[in-house]
């Protein structure tokens, strides 16, 4: 039986739109860097406690449990795209990808939305969230989309489930907007480890900020 998608952590309802972009344009910009799991690369050791990550160029910061090792997987300044991922190096690897991971991706669209576009933000983010989940795999399943407000960012969260090489992966996909940028936070783990990683992911996502 397919596993149901996990419930997203509760957040305050989003009240106001800050930017608007077509789902198609943003999805195309992020398609090359957003995926379930993280490609294997070099890694450091892991310790207990919390590690603070920040990037001055894009003004983002997040606090992540040190059980997750930081791996930077993509940075294309000319395209305004950036991604940083944190993985459980001891977890499942399928096709060269870690399945227990938290990934933060962003794309700078360079657009200044009109009032009319801003009014369509929620619909655009919902469409984008559904499109990003669909790209996680041919059998990806999206749960109920919820509106969120996270540290000044407007967005949506989509619980998802997907099967990769026989391994069930569940998680959350957040799509957040600020100015002309779109941020995608993907937190997922194999179903048998989700209960232990869920609180770690929830704390990290709650700490995500844009300056």
Place of tokens 């960012």: 153
Q: Is residue 95 very low, low, confident or very high in pLDDT (cuts 50, 70, 90)?
A: confident
For 51-88, the pLDDT digits (tens) are 999 988 889 999 999 989 876 556 565 567 888 989 99
Where is mean pLDDT largest: 21-25, 103-107, 111-115, 184-188?
184-188
- Dig out the tokens for 107 from the structure: 């794309």
Q: Is residue 107 very low, low, confident or very high in pLDDT (cuts 50, 70, 90)?
A: confident
Distance, CA of 155 to CA of 178 (rounded, Å): 9
Tally of CB atoms within 10 A around 34: 20
pTM: 0.78
12: DSSP letter: B
Superfamily of domain 23-34+59-210: Mog1/PsbP, alpha/beta/alpha sandwich (3.40.1000.10)
pLDDT of residue 16: 34
Residue 32 in this model has a pLDDT that exceeds 70: no
């Amino acid at each position: 039986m397919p596993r149901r998608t996990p419930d997203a952590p509760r957040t305050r309802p989003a009240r106001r739109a800050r930017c608007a972009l077509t789902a198609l344009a943003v999805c195309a910009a992020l398609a090359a860097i957003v995926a379930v799991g993280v490609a294997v690369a070099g890694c450091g050791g892991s310790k207990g406690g919390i590690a603070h990550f920040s990037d001055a160029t894009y003004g983002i910061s997040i606090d992540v449990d040190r059980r997750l090792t930081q791996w930077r997987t993509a940075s294309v300044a000319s395209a305004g795209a950036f991604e940083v991922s944190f993985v459980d190096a001891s977890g499942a690897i399928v096709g060269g990808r870690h399945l227990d991971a938290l990934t933060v991706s962003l794309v700078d669209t360079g657009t200044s939305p009109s009032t009319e576009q801003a009014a369509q933000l929620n619909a655009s983010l919902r469409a984008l969230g559904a499109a990003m989940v669909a790209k996680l795999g041919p059998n990806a399943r999206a749960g109920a989309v919820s509106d969120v407000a996270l540290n000044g960012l407007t967005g949506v969260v989509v619980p998802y489930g997907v099967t990769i090489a026989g391994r069930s992966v569940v998680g959350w996909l957040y799509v957040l907007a600020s100015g002309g940028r779109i941020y995608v936070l993907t937190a997922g783990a194999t179903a048998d480890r989700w209960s232990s990683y869920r609180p770690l992911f929830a704390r990290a996502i709650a700490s995500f900020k844009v300056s």
